[in-house]
Amino acid sequence: MNLFNVYPLYNVTPVKAEGCYVWDEKGTKYLDLYGGHGVISIGHTHWDYVAKLKDQLDHIGFYSNSIQNSLQVELAQKLGKISGCEDYDLFLCNSGAEANENALKLASFKTGKKRVISFENSFHGRTSAAVAATDNLNINAPINLQQEVTFLSLNQIDLVKIEIERGDVCAVIIEGIQGVGGLNEGTTSFFQQLEKVCTKNEVILILDEIQSGYGRSGKFFAFQYHNINPDIITIAKGMGNGFPIGGVLISDKIEAKFGMLGTTFGGNHLACAAAISVLDVMEKEKLIDNTNEVSDYFIERIKEIPQIKKVKGKGLMLGVEFDFEVSEIRKKIIFDKHIFTGGAANKNLLRILPPLSVSKSQIDEFVEALKEVLNEIN
Ligand SMILES: Cc1ncc(COP(=O)(O)O)c(C=O)c1O
């Protein structure tokens, strides 16, 4: 059997990883400034995390959601405390798309309506309603296009008001900071007015923090820069440091009913152990403080490179923008300098999503490599 060929692959095969480094099968060491697409939060194969998962596997790896699971309760309490979102309830699932799918479903259950407002360049996942709310027609099949979604420009509150006042909107879904689209973000005034207009019209405001959450922006959630309280927050990526887990944080506006949501695998024992360990390590190693320190350092050092037009994003969710396409640079950085970085829908942008434990000297390594690559291609 062959693999269904949907991913254009770089010719590198990682077989081992530790902290901010991965090694391929030939023993070549790579600096990981991509974190497997913003997933590795506390560093690869962190000792505490590995020990906790192995220990959990020795006890119980999985049982059904129709039975008590005290690890889910422990995770919810810890997450509430560390994120500052203690007033929300937690529903656990397996991925980012699934988190958004459940969030949109809750909004529709609550309001009895079905149109969604989303934004240009957004990415919310690949399942039914999540992909329909994603601004990319190429990844929507006809079956997805039966969803009612209106895409608006970011930071244009008047357009949002016009659409919401038509009276058929169940949810507005927005990323804390856009990831795949290329690090654009709403202004504080936009987020605050969005909250106001949603509350006034009883529309559910969903903050997709799947990529920008879990400390990556330098606060636990990126929306916390704007002093708002979304009705629903969705999480995944950094939550399990590579173990598949996602979650929906739900405000008390929405009342739970038996059978409203459900999943076989979501919130299983192993996934909860991984997620608890991530929060423990984030706290113990003060990874959000490190994120802010290293981010400031990155932004300072990158100013040494005149070819860079702009640095976008926050914390360790950064994009460096050129006025030319970066695919050649990205290839050279991987194959000649052995550093992983990310691309974006904006082809002029190099994305930096390292583990939150990355050090300043690892940023030095990247800056020097980027300077050399830029000299070589000019
Ligand atoms: C902002 C955002 N939302 C949702 C998703 C979908 O997550 P998953 O791939 O886990 O389904 C992603 C993935 O890149 C994302 O960046």
Nearest CA-CA partner of 340 in 349, 326, 327, 330: 330
- Number of H-type helices and E-type strands within the chain: 11, 14
End-to-end alpha carbon distance in the chain: 44
E strand segments, 40-114: 89-93
Residue 229 has a pLDDT of: 98
Residue with structure tokens 């923090």?
209
In the CATH scheme, what is the code of domain 47-284? 3.40.640.10
Backbone angles phi, psi at 5, to 5 degrees: -85, 80
Tens of pLDDT along 209-254?
999 999 999 999 999 999 999 999 999 999 999 999 999 999 999 9
**pLDDT < 70 positions in the chain:** none
Closest residue by Cα to atom 8, ligand 1, is 96
Q: How far is CA 18 from CA 23, 29, 40, 330, 362, in A?
A: 9, 10, 11, 22, 14
**Is ligand 1 within 6 A of the CB of residue 102?**
no
> Is domain 14-46+285-377 annotated with CATH 3.90.1150.10?
yes
Q: What secondary structure letter does DSSP report for 310?
A: E
Residue 378 has a pLDDT of: 75
Nearest CA-CA partner of 170 in 118, 119, 131, 114: 114
Domain spans of the chain, in order of start: 14-46+285-377, 47-284
127 CA: nearest ligand 1 atom? 11
Contacts of 55 (CB under 8 A, 6+ apart): 273
Contacts of 335 (CB under 8 A, 6+ apart): none
* Token reading at 182: 């290329």
Amino acid at 285: E
For residue 121, the SS3 value is: coil
122 CA: nearest ligand 1 atom? 1
244 CA: nearest ligand 1 atom? 10
Closest residue by Cα to atom 16, ligand 1, is 211
